[in-house]
Amino acid sequence: MSGCEDCSGCDLLHLPVDTKAEYVVALAGNANVGKSATFNQLTGVDQDIGNWPGKTVERAEALLQHRGRRIRVIDLPGIYSINALSTEEQVSREFIAHDHPDVVVNVLDSSALERNLFFTLQLTELESPLVIALNQADLAAKKGIILDAGKLSAILGVPVIPTVAIQGKGIAELSDAIVRATCSRPRPKTIRYGKEVEDRIARILALLPEGSGGYPSRWTAIKLLEGDPDTVWEVRQHSPGVAAAALESGRELEKIHGEPAATVMSAERYHAAEELAAAVMEIRSPGDNEITLTEKVDRIALHPVLGYLLLAATLGGLLVWTFVIGAWISGVLMEFLSGIAPVEPLITGSLPDIIFNGAWTGFVAALTLIVPYVIPFYLVLALIEDSGFLTRFSLMLDKGMHRMGLHGKAIIPLVLGFGCTVPACLSCRIIESPKQKLIAAFLVTLIPCSARTIVILGVVAVFVNIWWALFLYLLVFVLIVVLGRLAFRLLPGESVGMIMEMPDYHVPHVKGVLGQTWQRTRSLIGIVLPAYIIGSIVITGAYAAGLLEPINAALYPVTVILLGLPAMTGVVFIFGIIRKEMTILALAAILGTTVFSDVLTPVQIIVFGLVTLLYAPCISTILALAKEFGWKAALSITALETSLAIALGALLFHLIGPFL
């Protein structure tokens, strides 16, 4: 596929969006240079693994969507040469030369540059559009190797990007370079060899018809000079005189150097690679290299053990806030507001009383969510994000997210879901793929938010025991993993890789953090506050008018027969649609007590907790889903989760009923 027209230097900010075209990028390089890590970072999920047609060599490919470009990334076998002496070399050579990928990304090991450049020089001979990824830059730095990527780029005439693929560093810059290359099609400069070799290459080029054998002319001339059997056979079919002259030139080289022409060419490439490496490389004592703050912190944040401990401590801190501090503040705030006016969802009286009490109940529900949970959560999130840690955490969880068909960025809405599902659903917009975005939103609505947590801790943990509360949480997390993987397989659409910027660490800016916290909170208030107030008025009024009683009768087969709960819990679950912890208020008002163990069995309390965890999201979440994905998706998710809650609740009731 040709590059785009009128690229204007491929300024990414003004790059024309092309969602229909699909570009092909091949990753090529030696074995053990981090090529697979680069491939995984670029593509992330939905990788197709199979064999090349007619070959036993494994082929991996996946889709990257970046800057409005759809890019099919092909991971070529790790090889050291493309002389077609092995099946892997043959596969790589044929794909680059005959399938003509839009860009070839040559992944190099920065700590062994000279050896890797031998392969790079062969790629330049093929004249494919080329981008160089100087990978394992951190390992080179530890060895005291300093590489001048700009100088190497100037010599080769192609973009050169330093990367540390295993840590995700440089991947965003590499992706930008790939996108630019799909437009500019950067052809590598010709690297000249020794005079005896160049004279004979020129002699063969003068005789060689254009496009012989489907390869670039210079490549074909070099292969003829080396006596490559396949190339000689191809050229001999239509130009036997050229093939004979090339073989004679090869014999001349052999007489001059006392080695076969193929050995002479290898020596020339090694010499050129040595000179090229010497020109762009500086060796220092490892102790002389200044270690930046980002590098020091990344030794912990991206460490395979310490990094996960830091991540666990951070997420644990957020959960402690949700479970302990936030719950305590919410209780204090609820007590204070109850002193102003009773917070009671079930009332009788005049219409003004119903409206006032319904509105007040909804207002208190919104306030006791936003103040103790959402604002502190957003504040901590902004601090983590602005400092540079959030990207590292996303990278650490990237592999686990892949198992659910998601990308590491999905951790942001999933973590947000522990505070409130509404902003978590809205934050799914950071995910580019519609399929992955919908999966993330579906899983987010299953995360035990602060309101659901209040129900589990305030009902199951208090009136049964903490172990059953933890069991319900564990069950939900297992469901999230299983359902995520199932949705990934069943939902139509593509999952694409997404690139995460890897910024340097810095002290968060107070003004920026507070501004970001307010912007997120303000957008949430616009959905939550009206939904809670209006929903509370409607449901309170309907109950006071006796309109909800038929619901108990209609839900009797579900609540009583399937779930083994009292008949009046049908109305209780309706109140839970406003906000989940309102099920506690409604349950207490209907039962006439807050000591639920006096009127409910342990089995009923556990089943009630499980159903509350899983059934229909709250009304503000449904509105957020409808805003982001449309009413069809919002109602489908609601119906699916309600059905799941009933099925699992019924199963749990019949499994544990005989034992508790």
Is the pLDDT at 477 greater than 60, yes or no?
Answer: yes
Alpha carbons 102 and 185: distance in angstroms, whole number: 7
Strand partners, 70: 22, 65
Rounded-to-10 torsion of CA 455, 456, 462, 467: 180
> How do residues 340-399 score in pLDDT, each as one tens digit?
876 665 445 677 877 887 788 778 877 877 787 778 877 887 888 778 777 777 777 766
Residue with tokens 């009797």: 556
> How do residues 426-459 score in pLDDT, each as one tens digit?
778 767 678 888 888 999 999 988 778 878 877 8
Collapsed DSSP state (helix, strand, coil) of residue 122: helix
Whole-angstrom CA distances from 430 to 427, 492, 493, 512 are: 6, 20, 17, 19
Judged by average pLDDT, the poorest of 34-38, 310-314, 481-485, 516-520 is: 516-520
Is the pLDDT at 282 greater than 80, yes or no?
Answer: yes
CB 336, CB 297: distance < 8 Å:
no
According to the annotation, is 391 in a ligand binding site? no
According to the annotation, is 36 in a ligand binding site? yes
391 closest CA partner among 403, 408, 407: 408
Q: How many other C-beta atoms can be found within 10 angstroms of the C-beta atom of residue 500?
A: 19
According to the annotation, is 296 in a ligand binding site? no
334 falls in which pLDDT band (50, 70, 90)?
confident
According to the annotation, is 106 in a ligand binding site? no
According to the annotation, is 138 in a ligand binding site? yes
Alpha carbons 309 and 312: distance in angstroms, whole number: 5
According to the annotation, is 214 in a ligand binding site? no
Residue with tokens 């809670």: 532
Whole-angstrom CA distances from 217 to 126, 128, 204, 220, 272 are: 9, 13, 9, 5, 20
Would you give the end-to-end CA distance of the chain in angstroms? 67
CB 576, CB 590: distance < 8 Å:
no
Name the residue ranges covered by the structural domains of the chain: 8-190, 195-283, 306-499+509-656
Q: For 501, list phi and psi in degrees, rounded to 5.
A: -65, 145
* pLDDT for res 48: 67
According to the annotation, is 406 in a ligand binding site? no
Residue at 202: amino acid letter: A
Q: Tokens for 300?
A: 């912990």
According to the annotation, is 54 in a ligand binding site? yes
Task: Fold for 8-190, please state it.
Answer: Rossmann fold (3.40.50)
* pLDDT for res 6: 42
Whole-angstrom CA distances from 369 to 414, 497, 525 are: 18, 34, 10
- Looking only at Cα atoms, what is the longest distance across the chain? 111
CA quadruple 640, 645, 648, 651: dihedral sign = negative
Alpha carbons 348 and 129: distance in angstroms, whole number: 76
* pLDDT for res 497: 59
According to the annotation, is 235 in a ligand binding site? no
Alpha carbons 291 and 455: distance in angstroms, whole number: 49
Whole-angstrom CA distances from 458 to 251, 297, 450, 453, 462 are: 89, 40, 12, 8, 6
Alpha carbons 460 and 86: distance in angstroms, whole number: 64
45 closest CA partner among 488, 443, 441: 488
According to the annotation, is 75 in a ligand binding site? yes
Is the pLDDT at 461 greater than 80, yes or no?
Answer: yes
According to the annotation, is 99 in a ligand binding site? no
DSSP 226-267: HT-HHHHHHHHHH-HHHHHHHHHHHHHHHHHHSS-HHHHHHH
According to the annotation, is 78 in a ligand binding site? yes
Q: Strand 130-135 relative to strand 103-109: parallel, antiparallel, unpaired? A: parallel
According to the annotation, is 76 in a ligand binding site? yes
Tell me which DSSP letter residue 68 carries. T
According to the annotation, is 58 in a ligand binding site? yes
Domain 195-283: CATH architecture, name and number where available:
Orthogonal Bundle (1.10)
Residue at 405: amino acid letter: G
Alpha carbons 475 and 484: distance in angstroms, whole number: 14
Collapsed DSSP state (helix, strand, coil) of residue 17: coil
> How do residues 433-442 score in pLDDT, each as one tens digit?
788 888 889 9
What's the mean pLDDT in 640-658?
A: 93
According to the annotation, is 458 in a ligand binding site? no
According to the annotation, is 368 in a ligand binding site? no
> How do residues 576-615 score in pLDDT, each as one tens digit?
888 787 788 778 777 767 788 888 999 999 999 999 999 9
According to the annotation, is 30 in a ligand binding site? yes
Alpha carbons 85 and 78: distance in angstroms, whole number: 14
Collapsed DSSP state (helix, strand, coil) of residue 22: strand
* pLDDT for res 323: 60
According to the annotation, is 40 in a ligand binding site? yes
